[in-house]
Amino acid sequence: MTIVRSVDNSSFRVERPPQENRIRLLAEVLLTHPIVAGRAIIAELLGRTTFRLNGRKFHIGPGRPRYVLPIYSDVSRHLAAIRSQIDPTTVSSILDCGAHIGTFSVLAHRIFNAAKIVAIEANPTNYDVCVKNTIGLPIDVRHVAIGAREGTTAFYLRPNEFDQGGTMNPAYSTDEQIPVDVHTTTFRALIDELKHVDVAKVDIEGAELDVLSELCDLSTRIKLLDLELHYMNNNVMRASSDLALIDSVFETVRQDLYTDGLERYWVSLLLRSRR
């Protein structure tokens, strides 16, 4: 999906991009991260559920090792972009929303080793794996979802997806979904607790659309925001108004656009506060 803006940024047009090429992504990982890729592939061939990552035993969880490779490559690319925008020695707090099995948090700790990291993960299986992967590191892993208010809500597991993900927005998937109850917290509560956030990563599978306004209201307390917006065919046109809201408080450092070639779209943004 290409977001085409008018000269004065007052209007937008959405165009569909080509389907993501999984073979190309795998080849990219093999070329750019050959050691990690080799270890993951060997782990799969031997039927293991762990491999070595940054000198630590890294648990993969219910997924297969080769599926960690695109995630590892994507996280590495995002962290490289973040590092280019901020001095690692000045980073004292990182918020990882949608922590999955801890890949971003573990790799972020290697770069920003003086930072306190709070990792938020709603999927109970991924949360358990994330806890294992962050033992001994200054990473506070919490089993909670991000929502518009604090309380309890339904979280929909998607057991057939390769990354064993899930969402609070059941309309964001046509796969089999299993509802489970999870506690929710808000961005405001988290940022009030941390006082300020140097780096926030938000990848919460469609739930970000329900809390985007609150996130933008908090832009003065977030130095850098790595944000992923998720859309289905039936709501992709709201990207225009969402991006207009984001543009009012954030400067876009990087923008990437993806689709699964079927019905889902991703807008990946690296943002810096304008205020």
CA 7 to chain centre: 30
pLDDT one-digit tens code per residue, 70-98: 778 788 889 999 999 999 999 999 999 99
Q: How many CB atoms lie within 10 A of CB 90?
A: 11
Q: How confident is the model at residue 225 (pLDDT cuts 50, 70, 90)?
A: very high
pLDDT-based confidence at 8, cuts 50/70/90? Answer: very low
Segment 20-46 shows an average pLDDT of 69
Which residues, at least 6 apart from 13, have a Cβ–Cβ distance to it below 8 Å? Answer: 3, 4
**Which DSSP string corresponds to 16-69?**
PPPPP-HHHHHHHHHHH-HHHHHHHHHHHHTT-SEEEETTEEEE-TTS-HHHHH
* Domain 2-273 in CATH 3.40.50.11540: no
Digit-coded pLDDT (tens) for 125-183: 899 999 999 999 999 999 999 999 999 999 888 766 555 678 887 776 666 788 899 99
- What are the structural domain ranges in the chain? 2-273
Residues 212, 234, 165, 39, Cα dihedral to 10°: -100
- Residue 26 has what pLDDT? 62
Provide the Cα torsion 186, 192, 101, 142; round to 10°.
-80
Contacts for 147 with CB less than 8 Å, ≥ 6 apart: 153, 168, 184, 185, 186, 207, 210, 211
* Amino acid making up residue 61: G
Rounded average pLDDT over 224-237 = 85
- Separation between Cα atoms, residue 70 and residue 19, nearest integer Å: 15
Query: Which tens digit of pLDDT belongs to each residue from 85-133?
Result: 999 999 999 999 999 999 999 999 999 999 999 999 999 989 999 999 9
